[in-house]
């Protein structure tokens, strides 16, 4: 982590240590912070194990250091103290042995100190932790800048850290807390570590326990995985460990569901390959069936990158939710499958049914309303780009209506449509067809930018104009007429007030003739 952050943190930890000594409270830094320190990785989370009641200790720390107290788990006596800009600045200014530190303060210097209790000795506390690389501790006062840590390490976590291995501390860890089933995979993904075979076996043995994990905790682990560049690979791994379909049982029904000849894989594998193709298209990862020629044809710009990087809710952004949409976009195909008169498999209505199923799944996993709406829209509209035209390029009105209906998710849906095609054909992608699809997407994006420019000027008419010119009264008709004018203006069909009023007159005349 940056030097200024290291210095700030150590100053705060030293002040915490002195305060806890005055309270006759032994304290240790434990778990992930030690792991990340040894790996040289930045982290803003510090786990502190204290002797005595951790809730009381955390409350006193928050009171004396001006932090914010957050109760995390009353039953297990776990609480958090959030330290922000002013608290860390004060820690630096109070640092003994020298003047206040000079490096400019960084707004990202917000730290989360999680306090838990231990009894008897710290080794017994470490024995209750999940993985060996997280079962190390250092006495709080021993952390110094550039120091060589010699942690208390009863389970040889340091050796596993060197060998890049995820190993369970004991056979009981998943029975104690089933979210660790997902956490094992997420840690392996974050650090590019390997879960050792005995721990893999334990995960499979306890895989059904993931169903009792609170949805909020599942959501957090799933999003942290989806935020990583190789999420598709680890979704496959979750399935190998019997976790994916246990977590989302609706996916189990997609296994073995064959599709028309245009598809290379069944619905389940196609869905996972759609996530992989998405990562390829958004420049996060390579794809087994992709190449530079395929990627070079895809529309891409700084504006698209910035859009897809936008946060949606706590822990999610457009990229992670786009992958989630890729995983779930065909979730209703088993439910809607039938064979037509020619024996060809059809999935009529699978987008509408899939959107409803997706909302149910994400509600169960406690995703936020904004996240659910975004992924639901991805699933519902994922076929729409291909349906905007039969021959040639879509009309201006079709493009306007597409973005009117999809809003901020319109760009995301276009990329899902591209990934959907790649994951349908796999190694059989036809470059001529691919170029035409990319040409369509590029045209839609380009024309949408032109439409946005056309509607930036003041409106041609407003509601008062319509009431005064046509003797109308306030009501829904005014809104519908203005929407029609706006659509025609965006598509370039009208550019003046006179043309707008003439259009309204035609609309009113058509309604009167009905």
pLDDT, residue 4, reads: 52
CATH of domain 3-158: 3.30.460.10
More confident residue, 344 or 223: 223
Kindly state the DSSP code that residue 116 receives in the 8-state scheme: E
Mark residue 417 as left, alpha or beta (left: phi above 0; alpha: psi -120 to 50; beta: remaining).
alpha
pLDDT, residue 97, reads: 41
pLDDT, residue 7, reads: 62
CA dihedral angle for residue 181, residue 183, residue 186, residue 191, rounded to 10 degrees: -120
CA–CA distances in Å: residue 338 to residues 64, 130, 212, 255, 341: 67, 47, 35, 16, 10
CATH of domain 164-247: 1.10.110.30
| The model's pTM | 0.83
Residue 323's SS3 state is helix
What ranges do the domains of the chain cover? Answer: 3-158, 164-247, 250-454, 463-512
Query: pLDDT, tens digit, for every residue of 441-474?
Result: 999 999 998 887 765 556 888 888 888 888 888 8
pLDDT, residue 105, reads: 29
202 C-beta neighbours (distance < 10 Å), count: 22
Residue 23's SS3 state is coil
- State the pLDDT confidence band at 106, using cuts at 50, 70 and 90: very low
Query: pLDDT, tens digit, for every residue of 250-266?
Result: 999 999 999 988 899 99
Query: pLDDT, tens digit, for every residue of 142-171?
Result: 876 556 778 999 999 999 999 999 999 999
User: Using CA atoms, how far apart are residues 118 and 139, in angstroms rounded to an integer?
Assistant: 13
Q: Right CATH number for 250-454 from 3.40.50, 1.10.3210, 3.30.450, 1.10.10?
A: 1.10.3210
Q: What burial class does residue 132 get, using C-beta atoms within 10 Å of its C-beta: 0-12 exposed, 13-18 middle, 19+ buried?
A: buried
Residue in 240, 211, 415 with CA at minimum distance from that of residue 321: 415
- State the pLDDT confidence band at 93, using cuts at 50, 70 and 90: very low
């Amino acid at each position: 982590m940056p030097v200024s952050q290291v210095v700030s943190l150590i100053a705060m930890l030293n002040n915490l240590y002195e305060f806890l000594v005055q309270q006759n409270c032994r304290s240790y830094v434990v778990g992930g912070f030690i792991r990340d320190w040894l790996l040289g990785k930045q982290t803003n989370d510090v786990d502190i194990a204290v002797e005595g009641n951790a809730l009381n200790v955390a409350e006193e720390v928050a009171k004396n250091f001006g932090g914010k107290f957050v109760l995390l788990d009353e039953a297990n006596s776990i609480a958090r103290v959030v330290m922000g800009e002013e608290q860390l600045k004060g820690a630096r200014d109070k640092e003994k042995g020298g003047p206040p530190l000079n490096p400019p303060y960084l707004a990202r210097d917000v730290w989360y100190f999680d306090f838990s209790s231990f009894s008897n000795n710290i080794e017994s506390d470490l024995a209750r932790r999940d993985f060996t690389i997280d079962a190390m501790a250092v006495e709080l006062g021993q952390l110094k800048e550039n120091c060589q840590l010699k942690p208390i390490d009863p389970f040889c976590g340091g050796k596993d850290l060197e060998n890049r291995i995820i190993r369970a501390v004991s056979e009981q860890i998943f029975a104690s807390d089933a979210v660790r089933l997902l956490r094992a995979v997420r840690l392996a993904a974050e650090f590019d570590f390997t879960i050792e075979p005995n721990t893999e076996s334990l995960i499979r043995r306890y895989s059904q326990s993931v169903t009792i994990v609170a949805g909020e905790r599942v959501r957090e682990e799933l999003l942290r995985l989806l935020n990583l560049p190789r999420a598709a690979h680890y979704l496959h791994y979750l399935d190998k460990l019997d976790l994916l379909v246990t977590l989302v049982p609706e996916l189990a029904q997609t296994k073995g569901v064959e599709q028309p000849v245009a598809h290379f894989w069944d619905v389940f594998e196609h869905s996972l390959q759609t996530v992989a193709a998405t990562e390829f298209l958004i420049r996060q990862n390579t794809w087994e069936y992709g190449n530079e020629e395929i990627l070079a044809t895809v529309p891409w710009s700084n504006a698209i990158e910035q859009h897809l990087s936008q946060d949606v809710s706590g822990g999610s952004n457009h990229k992670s939710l786009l992958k989630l949409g890729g995983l779930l976009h065909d979730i209703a195909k088993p439910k809607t499958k039938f064979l037509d008169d020619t024996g060809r498999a059809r999935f009529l209505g699978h987008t509408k049914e899939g959107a409803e199923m997706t909302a149910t799944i994400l509600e169960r996993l406690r995703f936020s309303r904004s996240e659910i709406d975004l992924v639901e829209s991805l699933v519902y509209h994922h076929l729409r780009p291909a349906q905007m035209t039969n021959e040639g390029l879509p009309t201006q009105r079709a493009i306007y209506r597409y973005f009117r209906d999809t809003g901020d998710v319109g760009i995301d849906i276009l990329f899902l449509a591209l990934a959907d095609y790649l994951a349908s054909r796999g190694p059989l992608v036809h470059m001529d067809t691919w170029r035409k699809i990319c040409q369509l997407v590029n045209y839609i994006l380009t024309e949408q930018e032109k439409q946005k420019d056309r509607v930036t000027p003041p409106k041609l008419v407003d509601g008062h104009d319509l009431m005064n010119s046509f003797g109308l009264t306030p009501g829904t008709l005014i809104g519908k007429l203005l929407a029609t004018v706006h659509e025609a203006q965006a598509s370039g069909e009208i550019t003046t007030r006179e043309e707008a009023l003439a259009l309204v007159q035609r609309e009113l005349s058509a309604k009167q003739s009905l």
